[in-house]
Amino acid sequence: MGVDERTVRRYVDHLLDLEVPVESVRGRYGGYRLATGHRLPPLMLTDEEALAVLLGLVAGRRAGLATATGASGETAAAKIRRVLPQRLRGRLDAVLGSLAFTSAAADPPVPEAAVLLAIADAVRHHRPVSIRYTAADGRRSDRTLHPYGLVAHSGRWYVTGVDPGIGADRNFRLDRISAATPLTGSFEPPGEVDAAQRVLTGLATAPHRHEVVLLVQGEAGRVRGGLPAGLAVVSEAVDEPGWCRVELRAERLDWVPGVLAALDLPFVIERPAELREHVAAFADRLARSARRRPPGAGGDR
């Protein structure tokens, strides 16, 4: 496969930046070669590639998508920087040193790298896996799982699949899995699996104190897009054309009116009845605030 002269020249210039001696050979079969006794460096990246890798490491760490070896991102970045030319190293340091983020860095619990790799391999080859899991209440158990996929959501890693022992869908947080061991045999996933949607549905239907069911007027996509991911299950109301049924779970009801107000669509509360009082109180607070005037302007405060 032929390579154009400009690409070759850039490659040679990169080697020279790394202080790798390159000799030019004249003649019909001439070209470039490394000086005797020298080898190519273990990693060679263009300016754009190096920037993409380092920014990816920074963004992944801030988003919480790291592994339990918290220093791995820093050591990987240091290794990459060591094999970069001084000129490029300085330019990348300038970018990273001047970069600011509008959101705070995430610091959620992170999974073990060995667990993540073992489960990813089981997902890819459709193999069952044995996991040692610690639930939110501290209970520990050994489970067998047919894993369908890995999902990153809100800075946490999840695995979704089926527990063949009870034949039920299960989602597990990877940071609560202390060990994952591949088992013999294989399984067949049920067609096309939307792993992300399985996890979001599981989060929205997890047991909580209150079960909230509402009818919201609007298309399912519009309603679903107006709610935080993983908060609710949205489906078209078959018996009410133009309306959607929204189901969610909540330990407290005081935050639900604000979510409904932000949705800005007509809704009907099916249950629980006490949610009506929270919505009415929220509406009264908004109305009072709307009537207030700035200090010194007179009127209600």
d(CA 212, CA 88): 55
Tens-digit pLDDT profile for the chain (301 aa)? 455 666 656 665 665 665 556 666 665 656 656 666 655 555 567 778 888 888 888 877 777 776 655 567 777 777 777 777 777 788 888 888 888 877 777 677 788 889 999 999 999 999 999 999 998 888 999 999 999 999 988 888 999 999 998 888 999 999 999 999 999 999 998 888 899 999 998 888 888 889 999 999 999 999 999 998 888 999 998 888 899 999 999 989 999 999 999 999 999 999 999 999 999 999 999 999 998 888 876 655 5
Instruction: Return the pLDDT at 88.
Output: 79
Distance of alpha carbon 272 from its chain centroid, rounded? Answer: 33
d(CA 14, CA 85): 7
Instruction: Return the pLDDT at 165.
Output: 86
H/E stretch holding 150 reads strand 140-153
Instruction: Return the pLDDT at 46.
Output: 73
By three-state DSSP, how is residue 4 classified? coil
d(CA 273, CA 150): 38
Burial class, 160, CB count within 10 angstroms (exposed 0-12 / middle 13-18 / buried 19+)? buried
Instruction: Return the pLDDT at 56.
Output: 82
